[in-house]
Amino acid sequence: MPHTVALVQARMSSSRLPGKVLADLGGQPMICFMVDRIRRAKRVDMVAVVTSDDPSDDPLADATEAHGIATVRGPLNDVLARYVVGADAFDAQTVLRLTGDCPLIDPGIIDQVVELHRSTGADYASNIDPPGFADGMDTECFTRALLDRADAAAREQPEREHVTLWMRDPKSGATRANLAAVVPGAHLRLTVDYLDDLDLVRRVVTAIGKDCGYFDILRLLQQDSALLDANPHQRNEALKT
């Protein structure tokens, strides 16, 4: 089977909530909490964090390495280049793009996206094209060949910063497949960009545990709508760094 590597992009200098990836969640840094969940995915061969070589990200690299998480570093403002560095480092044939502000990512959804990628033979598969799952479940999977094509062809700063914009543009010529949600959830927000996002995620973990699945979370939010009332922010459409 293809060597499938999940690369989680993360940095300390988030414009909206600096340092969020090291915020406490379930008694550990949020990025480590997230990686532990990704490691439960059956169709992922390894997980690594890709951060920047800027000194501001030294604490992040220290934390992930202390947790036994493979960590690679590249340009702060060229996230696409970071993914190339990560793919090179681990000889990835298939790359998963995940963002470090999605600590509740469901390993089952990750497996479904990887399986969709394999079964269709698409260059790019995801659950965001268009989005059907809650923001915070975003999973993208693509071939190493497509990553290299994007690195060579993407010139605009948003394309370099958001990694897969060029891949999803019809001009790329990439074949694409999308995982549809059984239960529509695109209106829900489980990512962490603001303090109230972090509060919601912490309350979810406290209520149903660190190993909770996506449908466990949906049931909780249906039962306790006050959790959502405290979090008014809009979906970020996967444009994350």
pLDDT in tens, 101-141: 999 999 999 999 999 999 999 999 999 999 999 999 999 99
pLDDT at residue 240 tops 50: no
End-to-end CA, the chain = 30
Q: Is the pTM of this model over 0.85?
A: yes
Strand partners, 198: none
Give residue 235's pLDDT.
60
The residue with greater pLDDT, 239 or 93, is 93
Quote the DSSP letter at residue 98: E
What's the CATH number for 4-188? 3.90.550.10
The torsion angle over the Cα atoms of residues 38, 233, 57 and 165, rounded to 10 degrees, is 70
What gap in Å lies between CA 123 and CA 142, rounded to an integer?
A: 6
As given in the structure block, the two tokens for residue 71 are 């960590």
Count of residues in the chain: 241
As given in the structure block, the two tokens for residue 36 are 């532990």
CB 116 within 8 A of CB 94: no
Give residue 81's pLDDT.
98
CB 26 within 8 A of CB 37: no
pLDDT at residue 238 tops 50: no
